């Protein structure tokens, strides 16, 4: 599905900034940060515009935000695979790669009495294939 189709499906105006971000995330395949986006598409857009565009795309569900650390935030396209309430991501300690993983196989410990759960965020830290070579 093209960026245009995705935006239209979510009733969002098709702007060049939104298209660039969606295209970049599609091409990348992995999660990327605002900084990395800028390195790829250039200094085309204002800081505020990028900030608001990410916000809009997250709120519409087109992309999702992965907070590895308070100083490291990345974004990835949402797919059927990542749509569930259980988000699983891999972070490479060596190269900083962030990837979405299917939530299948994840078993959450039981909560104390009276607690209820809406969703979970799991980050698995380690070394990726490339860095293990």
Partner DNA sequence: TTTACTTTTGCAGCATTGTTGCATTTGTTG
Partner DNA sequence: CAACAAATGCAACAATGCTGCAAAAGTAAA
Q: Indicate the residue among 13 and 111 with the shorter CB distance to DNA.
A: 13
Half-sphere exposure of 52 (CA within 13 A, CB side): 7
Scan residues 2-31 and list those touching DNA (CB under 7 A).
12-18
58 touches DNA by CB under 7 A: no
Residue 18's Cβ-count burial label (10 Å; 0-12, 13-18, 19+) is buried
**Contact residues for 11 (Cβ-Cβ < 8 A; gap 6+):** none
53 touches DNA by CB under 7 A: yes
119 touches a second copy by CB under 8 A: yes
Task: Summarize as ranges the residues that interact with a second copy (CB under 8 A).
Answer: 67, 69-71, 73, 88, 90, 93, 101-129, 132-133
């Amino acid at each position: 599905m093209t960026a245009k189709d995705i935006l239209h499906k979510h009733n969002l105006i098709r702007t060049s900034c939104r298209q660039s971000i969606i295209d970049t995330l599609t091409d990348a395949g992995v999660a990327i940060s605002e900084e990395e986006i800028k390195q790829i598409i250039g200094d085309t857009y204002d800081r505020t515009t990028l900030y608001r565009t990410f916000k809009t795309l997250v709120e519409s569900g087109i992309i999702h935000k992965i907070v590895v650390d308070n100083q490291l935030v990345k974004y990835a396209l949402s797919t059927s695979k990542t749509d569930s309430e259980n988000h699983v991501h891999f972070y490479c300690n060596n190269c900083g790669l962030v990837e979405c993983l299917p939530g299948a196989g994840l078993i959450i410990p039981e909560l104390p009495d009276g607690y209820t759960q809406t969703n979970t965020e799991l980050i698995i830290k380690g070394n990726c294939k490339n860095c293990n070579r």
